[in-house]
Chain A
Amino acid sequence: MDSVSKENLNTIKKNKGKIIGLSLKKDREFVLEKEGEEGLNKVEKEMEKMGYVLKTEDIGNYEWYPVQFDSLFLLLSKYFFDWDEEIMKEWGRWAAKTHFLARIMAKFFISRKKLTEMANRLWRKYYTQGTLEVKFDENNNFGIAEIKDFLLVPSHRLYLEGYFYQIASLVISSSKLKVVQVKDKDKKNHRFKITW
């Protein structure tokens, strides 16, 4: 169970990277869809209390904003609405389907090889901090998506787990497809195992 712990807040504060406004906006749309305007306002007010003032209508699609805004938004939403891990993963899958950037990039994901090549490019569309590497072991039907140099709280990791699942499903046609976090203690590097 994720919680607004001091540790998580510190982790968020330490992430100095930026996120594209489009992504921020889309993530707020998910909350709006799930919990309505009231739910969204609740999260935004809490963020304001914590000193993170950013109204949805003020977000520019192609402006860059501190990743902290997004990580905190994910964290607070999970906390306030008591969402389980599956909803957080669904959020990630939803983002991979609806984000304009993901749609732009989807055309490149025509094979696992291509995904390997283009993975970091996709990361860079969203974030200014960190890298994404994806590798596949075709013989053993698995792959690893690894985020390096990027601080993540558990709720954000669940979100990305869903996101990677959706992206992986574009190049892996299997009902056995699974994406799971590899539980490392390293807070800056994060691995996700893709199996099918």
Chain B
Amino acid sequence: MLRLAILAAGRGCLLLLIAVMALPSAGSAQIKDKQIFAGTTIEAGWDAIDRRASMRWEGAGWIGNDTHKFRWKSEGELKRSTLEEAEIQALYSRRIAPFFDAQVGIRYDFSPRGATYAVIGIEGLAPQWFEVGAALFIDHSGNVSARLEAERDLLITQRLILKPFIELNFSANDVARRSIGAGLTDIETGVQLRYEVRREFAPFVEFRYTRLVGKTSHLASADGESKQDLSVLLGVKLAF
């Protein structure tokens, strides 16, 4: 049943994308005030400490007009040509408030285990310029998990920007096959320092700390997996 729902959500997204693409001529002939635009950002970082070719990426993009957008998001880690973790989300994003979008769509995890989820969430700009997001994920077995994210650009100079970030993941119940325990499962936090050579191109250095928490961390110990990870990444952020 849920599998069908997820499939439907995926197809719906595709249909919406097509619909959104068909919007270009919306708006009166004289003033084309509902034009479609698109934007993409991609961050790629390489581990500076672990020299064994570990690479992390994070990307997001959108296409649409001021109210309706198709958004995609992806993040993942490649360790010595093995996909440690990789996920991609495809969402329909609709402006519901001056600073916030409501989102619905699907998420597919390539790794650690192939998994598909329905996504419902909200994303936007909170007071004091915090970019925040909250999402609920439901997989085909009905397991519910959630994610909270926040980050903020702090301008040191016009081009040198410090960005602290934090991501919290939760699970409503234990999911044995993913070694996840109920409650807060993990925290990712850190800070990125980027220099905007151009708006489109910014090299960065990033300090990233990941830690499994609670039951999830116990499960990891039992498996002999590490509970925490600190990495330093050097990379590049592209925006276009």
State whether these chains interact. no
B interface list, Cβ under 8 A from A:
none
